[in-house]
Each structure stands twice: as C-alpha cells, then as structure tokens.
Amino acid sequence: RSDGGTLDLYTTDSNFQPQSIVKSLVPSRNTLVLFEVSPVSFHQVSEVLSQDKCRLSLSGWFHGPTLERPPRHLEPPVPRSPHIPRDETIVQEWINPLYLDIFYQEQIQEEFEESSEIQLKGFLKEEKFREVSDALQLAQIQWTKRGPPNKRCYEVASLDTLPECVSMCWELLHSEAFFLLLSNYTGLRLHYMCPADDEEEEDKNGEAAAGSSADASSSTGANPSREKELSTPVCSGEVRRWSHGSYTLLHDGDAARAEYALDLILPFGCTDWQSEFGGYTCYVANEEDEELLTVYPEENSLALVYRDKETLKFVKQVNNKGSSLGKEFYDFSFVYYE
C-alpha cells in the first residue's frame, strides 16, 4: 500500500456525488478485479509513490443496457458580496508603497491590458507578509476539506477561526480601497469612482455631439446609457491550504457557468516550491487542449488574471515529490466581478 497505485472506490452522498473512499485495492500480479460502473459510481487510481516500481494493468468494460441517469446535481453558487467599507489606511498599512504610486499603477495597467495577466512581486510589506505566513500555521485555524473529489480536493479555512492578522489580510482584499486599487491596476470597473466604458466614450465625444443632440435630447429625454443602472462589483474568496493530494479538476458544468472575472491569488509558505511538485494554476481554452497560462506559487507575489467565458482553470495535483520534503502552502484566492 505504501507504493500507492491503489484502485479506490467511493461512496456517494444523497446527491449521488462521490464522498469518501470506501475500499482501496492494492495492485496484485495476475489478479482480475471486477466492479460495477454506473452513472452514480466513482473510482480512481491513486498516485504511484514508489520510485522504482511501475504499475501496469489492462482495463476494459463489459457493456450492458444503458442505465437511466439521475438528474445532474447543481452545486449552490458560491456566495458573493460587495466590498466592505475600509478606507485607504488599510492599503497603506499592508501594501508595498511601490504599488501605491499612481505612475507605477499606470504602468501596471498598460501591461495588464496587453496580456490580461500580471504578477506583482513583493506585494505586501515584508513584515506583514511574514506575520501572516507564521499565523497560517497556527493550530487555532479550523480547516475543512472541500469537495466533491470529482471536482476538487483541498482545505479551506473557517473565517471565524482566523488569527487577527490573517483576518485583516482577508479584509484588505475585500475592502473598498482595494477594489479601487484593482481598478487602477486592471482598468476594470470594480469601483463606482471608475468610469464605465460607455461613459468614457461619451466623455471623449461629448463636446462634438452636444450641439447637434440638444434638440433630440429635449424631445427624447436623458441619454438611456446614463439611466441604465450599473451593476455593483462583487467578490468571493477563501483561504486555502494545499498539501499532498490537493487538486481541482475541470468539470462538464464549468463552461456553462463561466463568466467574465478577475482572479486573484496570493500565496504564502511556498519558498523553494518547484513546478514538479504541482499546485500551480492552469488556464485553458474551452474545448481545446491549448494551455493559455500557468501561474506558479511564488512567495508574496500577487497574481491577477482576467478570464472570459471561454477560459477555464484548474489546479494541478500536489504530488508526493513536494510532500516528501514536508511541503505544503497556503493562498488567498479571490474572484472579482464587475
């Protein structure tokens, strides 16, 4: 069993989703294994841990009559919320002053608008980053495994058990001042002080159109684009722990629910993390094998990625190479919507 490569069979919950491993079969030479495969059965082959053994097997199916599938289970949407009222003091206390310089923010926005992604290294002040890194390892934090395993497997922190400095970092990323900062970095409308695209166009052409449209305005009323109520920017987020066996998967329903969104990842505890350990985030084009972008865990490096409805993402499984060195890491993961 220590060699890995077991055939694992799962129980299912009331929604016919995989829940936990109920039986693990160790590979044995010249052994035939038969088990039923149905719309509500789930199995996996676990990671091979041995350095000098190879798992070879022949697999196939005996087909019978098609079984009726239960209705597809739809997970409840992840709760979203608008920013919390915190002024610029919180960003001044936490963020590297370089990233608060308005001229540097303009450079960031130019680069982001060119590639739709950017990594801001040394984002938090060093003392704040170290404080949060140490606090994330405290035993007081309650971690819950998030599944189901056919979609994801990692741990998420209970927010009411976070140490004070970790909670303050959470508030920073959820704050009004940070929403405004993200708008400056990306050009997205994540704060009411940032003009919408149609407003910018109107401002550019307003003087030229003012005279010719005066009569029409008096007869038709105000500009309908001005009357249109703009949506309130919102976000969702979690504090995650990644250890051996953690991953997320692409799923059939991901494309149908895909939205325009800004992803934020801020890792902690990943010093000397190597790509061969896994744990990196991959962005791919829907229904294509093309890998668009890979974001690797890097200490105190804020990753921002804007994705459209045709872009999906997953986190590569953290494998045994990292865990054999005692490696695990944490991150703040937020998604912002205009």
Average pLDDT value for residue range 158-168: 98
Clarify whether residues 13 and 156 are in a common domain.
no
Is 60 a domain residue?
Answer: no
- What single string gives the DSSP state of each residue in 227-292? HSPPPPPEEEEEEEEE-TT-EE---TTHHHH---EEEEEEEES-TT--GGG---EEEEETTS--EE
* pLDDT, tens digit (0-9, with 9 covering 90-100), for 14-59: 999 999 999 999 999 999 999 989 989 999 999 999 889 999 999 9
263 has which bridge partners?
Answer: 305, 335
**Helix, strand or coil for residue 97?**
helix
Average pLDDT value for residue range 252-279: 93
- Please state, in angstroms and rounded to a whole number, the distance separating the CA atoms of residues 264 and 303: 6
Clarify whether residues 137 and 13 are in a common domain.
no
The per-residue pLDDT for 198 is 52
Average pLDDT value for residue range 117-124: 99
Q: Backbone phi, then psi, for 93, in 5-degree steps?
A: -75, -30
Average pLDDT value for residue range 137-164: 97
The per-residue pLDDT for 248 is 98
Token pair in block for residue 232:
């309130």
* pLDDT, tens digit (0-9, with 9 covering 90-100), for 179-204: 999 999 999 999 988 766 555 544 44
Clarify whether residues 97 and 14 are in a common domain.
no
Average pLDDT value for residue range 71-77: 89
| 267 contacts 330 by C-beta, under 8 angstroms | yes
Clarify whether residues 110 and 182 are in a common domain.
yes
Give percent above pLDDT 90 in the chain: 75
Domain containing residue 86: 81-187+232-337
- Please state, in angstroms and rounded to a whole number, the distance separating the CA atoms of residues 255 and 313: 10
Average pLDDT value for residue range 129-154: 97
Is 76 a domain residue?
Answer: no
Clarify whether residues 110 and 172 are in a common domain.
yes
- Mean of per-residue pLDDT scores for the chain: 89
Is 75 a domain residue?
Answer: no
The tally of domains found in the chain comes to: 2
Average pLDDT value for residue range 295-307: 98
In the predicted structure, residue 113 carries a pLDDT above the cut 80: yes
Is 198 a domain residue?
Answer: no
Clarify whether residues 34 and 122 are in a common domain.
no
- Please state, in angstroms and rounded to a whole number, the distance separating the CA atoms of residues 264 and 306: 9
Clarify whether residues 9 and 106 are in a common domain.
no
Domain at 252, CATH number: 2.60.120.620
Is 202 a domain residue?
Answer: no
CA proximity to 74, closest of 10, 170, 148: 148
- Please state, in angstroms and rounded to a whole number, the distance separating the CA atoms of residues 277 and 328: 10
The per-residue pLDDT for 324 is 67
Confidence class for position 215, pLDDT limits 50, 70, 90 = very low
* pLDDT, tens digit (0-9, with 9 covering 90-100), for 234-261: 999 999 999 999 999 998 888 778 999 9
Clarify whether residues 119 and 13 are in a common domain.
no
